Amino acid sequence: MARVPVQLYIYDLSQGMARTFSMDFMERQFDGIWHTSVVVHGKEWYFGYGILNDIPGGTILGPPLKIINMGETEVSEETISEYIDEIRPNFTPDKYHLLDNNCNTFSNKFCEFLTGNNIPDYIINLPADFLSTPRGRLFRPVLESMFGPSRHP
């Protein structure tokens, strides 16, 4: 089996506004509100309204802000399909949680499966970092009323 590259596509949902306004509003610098996806075998996989795939850069978000090479994999497209079917029940619209089970959670799990590597900490830790700010703590009840209790302290 040939080894194929695995890439992490990183998008900033705030389109630069987090970097511009976070110090004033959040009292801490946030460089983006990150959405990630994983590109392997010519498909961009992501968690949105369930687990979806598209042509790389062909999602509604357009081209990614940044691409990180996560390594290579020997996992076949058939095995990927089986794996996606196996984890799909954990990534349904009703199980989406902005802080605990989001696109970045999916990307991290998928990258671990494909390469054994985790996505960058600054992406995975964004919810906890946000909640650690004074305004983040104020927003927590609002977010939890929308998505349910968070596992973050």
Question: Looking at the annotation, which residues are catalytic?
Answer: 35, 103
| Residue with token string 């960058």 | 120
Strand order in the sheet with 50-54: 50-54, 43-48, 34-40, 4-12, 66-73
Degrees to nearest 5, angle at CA 18 with 13 and 19: 120
Report the C-alpha gap between 28 and 93 in whole angstroms: 31
Q: What's the CA angle centered on 16, arms 9 and 142, to 5 degrees?
A: 90
Decide: 46 and 103 in contact? Cβ < 8 Å: yes
